[in-house]
Structure 1
Amino acid sequence: MIDIHAHLLPEVDDGADSIEETLRLARAAVKEGITHTVLTPHHNLNWFINEKDKVIKLTEMVQKEIEAAGIPLTVSPSQEIRMNEEFAEEILAGNYLPLDQKGKYYLVEFSWNEFPDFARSYLKQMLDAGMIPIIAHPERQNPFIKNIDLLRELIDMGCLSQVTASSITGGYTRRIRRAAKKMMKENLIHVIASDTHHHVKRPHNMVEALRIIDKKFSPEYKDYLVNNATKIYNSEEIQPFHK
């Protein structure tokens, strides 16, 4: 598997707080069957500023540490980008890191409690430029939980969305688990990722989440969510899921 959303970079956000924790998370990823992790530190979120060059440099360092520890995991640099008023200008200038090698897919995070007025315009600018926003964990954000039609509107525009594995396993609240289930049932979720921050407090939970999806939805939908992570990394097109 490829995990397109994970906070393994040490001491840059609320994820790994040391290189030792980074390595613990890397080992945990391998146990989950993950072979490649895209490192997505928060950017533009409060005091978390992780600019492009910094993330690339740190990712190279982390890869060397992982290899030195004998862990069979490949990592690549990206960002979980909080949308703000400078977002469109910065992304069109090439100042943000994509999830893939060709600059097609970007992981975009919104405010937990508000959907900004400028968001639709900025997303359209991205789409018009051939960039596809992947909305991070909508099942955990109040604007989408309260109004699933807002998420549907963005998907209809051409955006994609990513569910967090722990939302499915019950690692958060019952409300979030219900929201995840409803969004998946209505085909508004395209890819699953761990969004792991800590090997105990916020683990990967990918295997358990996929077991639940296999049982409650279908093996085909489980494979769809997993395979789309590979397609995103390889800059391939994502098709809607057909039951």
Structure 2
Amino acid sequence: MIDIHTHILFDIDDGPKTEEESLLMLKQAVKEGITEIISTSHALNPHFDADYSTVQTKLKHLRELIEQNEIPLTLHSGHEIRINDQMVNLLNHKQLHVLANSNYVLIELPSNIVPTYTKDMIIALKASGYTPIIAHPERNLAIAKNPSKLESLIREGAFTQITAGSLAGHFGKAIQKLSLNLIRANYVHTYGSDAHNLTTRPYHFQEGLYYLERKKQLDAIDILLENNYRIINNQPIIMLELAEIKRDKWWEKIITKY
């Protein structure tokens, strides 16, 4: 299985601090059944901005450690890019990493809002040959309050990535239920752990899949994992027709707890 969203490089953002921690995370990934990982250190984030060349250097070193320690896992390059009006220019000038040398890019929104220029940036990325994937939309308050904000971005050509920990309940019941609702409505296309460490932000990779299995979302599991594979191979993502998300009393209840 492939994990398309991780913070696995040490001493570069809010992920592991030492190479020993990175190695422990990689070994745990293998135990989770993960065979390939895309490293997605933060870029253009107000708190962390991992430089393109630094990422390359750290990746090279970590790949050497993987080989030395005989860890059966392939590591790919990437960035988790905070949405910014300079994204396209920086991508074109090789100052930001795409996912695994594909045309896909992982985009991060602020936690509480969907910036007014988000749709314009998606259109600009598509026009330049990139396909944006919105990271963890289930953890964005504006989307939780009004899923149509996410729907409009998907209709413009964006895809989305759900976080394993969200499905596993790591971020609370409200986000867990919202995540399931988004999946049932076909608003979710890919799956990632967004792992930062093995304590406060672990993988939850299998746990998230087990949750979907218990909720009888077997087709969704197949599609999410297949789409992860397609990203690595730079192939078109499977997209199902969007369904309506109805805001009922239950929905309002979970938003107040968000």
TM-score interval, normalised by the smaller of the two chains: over 0.9
On the 8 A contact 1:101/1:234 being kept in 2, the answer is no
127-136 vs 210-219, which moves further: 210-219
Aligned residues: 242
Structure 1 residue ranges, 4+ long, deviating more than 4 angstroms after superposition: none
1:193-234 CA distance string (max 9 Å, x none) = 111011122111111111111221332211111111010111
Report how far residue 52 of structure 1 moved: 1.5
Equivalent in the alignment of 2:6: 6
Equivalent in the alignment of 1:106: 105
Task: Work out the CA distance in 1 between the residues paired with 2:137 and 2:212.
Answer: 17
On the 8 A contact 2:83/2:107 being kept in 1, the answer is yes
On the 8 A contact 1:224/1:241 being kept in 2, the answer is no
On the 8 A contact 1:40/1:80 being kept in 2, the answer is yes
Task: Work out the CA distance in 2 between the residues paired with 1:218 and 1:176.
Answer: 17
Show the 5 A alignment for 1:62-101. Answer: 62-101=62-101
On the 8 A contact 1:221/1:241 being kept in 2, the answer is no
Task: Work out the CA distance in 2 between the residues paired with 1:124 and 1:217.
Answer: 35
Report how far residue 115 of structure 1 moved: 1.7
Report how far residue 28 of structure 1 moved: 0.6
On the 8 A contact 2:182/2:188 being kept in 1, the answer is yes
* 1:23 and 2:23 correspond: yes
**Residue 163 of structure 1 aligns to a residue in which SS?**
strand
1:155-183 CA distance string (max 9 Å, x none) = 11111000000100100122211221111
Gaps of 5+ in 1: none
113-122 vs 31-40, which moves further: 113-122
173-182 vs 162-171, which moves further: 173-182
Equivalent in the alignment of 2:60: 60
Task: Work out the CA distance in 2 between the residues paired with 1:92 and 1:189.
Answer: 27
* 1:225 and 2:224 correspond: yes
Task: Work out the CA distance in 1 between the residues paired with 2:219 and 2:48.
Answer: 38
**Residue 21 of structure 1 aligns to a residue in which SS?**
helix
Gaps of 5+ in 2: 244-258
* 1:215 and 2:221 correspond: no
Report how far residue 81 of structure 1 moved: 0.3
On the 8 A contact 1:92/1:126 being kept in 2, the answer is no
Report how far residue 7 of structure 1 moved: 0.5
Report how far residue 47 of structure 1 moved: 3.1
1:87-140 CA distance string (max 9 Å, x none) = 2332343421111323x1000001111222222111101112221100000001
Task: Work out the CA distance in 1 between the residues paired with 2:90 and 2:116.
Answer: 18
209-218 vs 75-84, which moves further: 209-218
TM-score normalised to the size of structure 2? 0.90
Equivalent in the alignment of 2:199: 200
Equivalent in the alignment of 2:129: 130
Identity %: 32
Equivalent in the alignment of 1:190: 189
